[in-house]
Structure 1
């Protein structure tokens, strides 16, 4: 039986429910990441005894499942997508936006399928937009391919944000600090492709990088979904 199927115990002696527990856990994670979340810390924030929480949630993993589903409510499209490309693009962008609000989300993406009501609603909205375009296996691979792209891209972006906070150096600060050593290495002539990338490449922001990569992936998916010309 999943945490969503298990009934909640009575709220006496003090008001307590899974909604309040999850809200407290999300607040803790937003402040300090998943390492800041434990049943003891959540209980303390709610002024409740830790043992009381076990009537609602059996393990920390169940709590993470509930937190993930809470954020899926933010990812769920507000309107029915117009077509499959909009559906997958919306899923990618809304997931990225949610991860920028809740950086810990990046640590939970790509794991087990989300079985909470909001996670299932997101999956249904996405798959229904591709219904009838190809056989179900092709549709599933298309969704998995786009998901693999934005999961990796989001994790990289969040990792960079964390590195900036840990070192106190922005991306451009780090580039300036690393510049002399990199310039010396490139001057050896041993890295011609890298030299071209450094000196001739365009430096773009994270959102532009994300959107460009997503468009390329969606173009590749479109080629698989389109029937062969004959």
Structure 2
């Protein structure tokens, strides 16, 4: 029986429910990342004994599942946009915004599908937008491809934010500090393509990079969408 199917235990003194538990866990993760989350720490945040939580959640993995679904409520579209491309774009953009608010989400995206009601609603919206535009296998690969791009791009963006905090250097400060080494290596002539990218390429911010890559992925998906035979 999954955590979604298991009922809450009977109410006791100091009322407790999964909603309060998950809210406390999300707050801890927002403050200190997933490493800051444990059933013991959540119980302390709620001022209850750790054993109380086991009536609602069996493992930390179940707690993570609940936390991810809680954040997916921020990704569910408010209303269905006009076409499939806009549906997938909105999904990616809302996932990015949710991840920037809850950086720990980047560590849990991908892998097996999440089965909570909010995650299922997000998946349903994406699949429904493409329904009828191609055979079901093509539709599934299209959604998976956009999801894979989104996950990879967000993990890279969050990794850069964490590196800035860990080193105390902004991106430009890090570039200036690394500049002499990069200049010396490029001057060897061993990396001509990289030198061209460094000296002639246009630097863009994370939001622009994400949007551009997403457009390219959506263009590739569009080329694969051919209605199934009737």
**TM bin (shorter chain):** over 0.9
| 1:41-80 matched pairs, under 5 angstroms | 41-80=41-80
8 Å CA contact 2:68–2:105 kept in 1: the answer is: yes
For structure 2, the residue ranges without an aligned partner over 5 or more in a row are: none
Deviation by residue 1:152-180 (Cα, 9 ceiling, x = unmatched): 00000000000000000110000000001
Q: Deviation at 1:64?
A: 0.3
User: Partners of 1:111 and 1:82 in 2: how far apart?
Assistant: 29
Identify the residue that residue 158 of structure 1 maps to in structure 2: 158
Identify the residue that residue 15 of structure 2 maps to in structure 1: 15
Identify the residue that residue 96 of structure 1 maps to in structure 2: 96
Count of matched residue positions in the alignment of Structure 1 and Structure 2: 228
Q: Deviation at 1:185?
A: 1.1
Identify the residue that residue 84 of structure 1 maps to in structure 2: 84
8 Å CA contact 2:135–2:227 kept in 1: the answer is: no
Identify the residue that residue 178 of structure 1 maps to in structure 2: 178
8 Å CA contact 2:132–2:227 kept in 1: the answer is: no
TM-score (norm 1): 0.97
User: Is 1:223–2:223 an aligned residue pair?
Assistant: yes
For structure 1, the residue ranges without an aligned partner over 5 or more in a row are: none
- Give the alignment's Cα RMSD to 1 decimal: 1.0
Identify the residue that residue 141 of structure 1 maps to in structure 2: 141
TM-score (norm 2): 0.97
User: Partners of 1:32 and 1:39 in 2: how far apart?
Assistant: 15
User: Partners of 2:112 and 2:41 in 1: how far apart?
Assistant: 25
Q: Deviation at 1:10?
A: 2.0
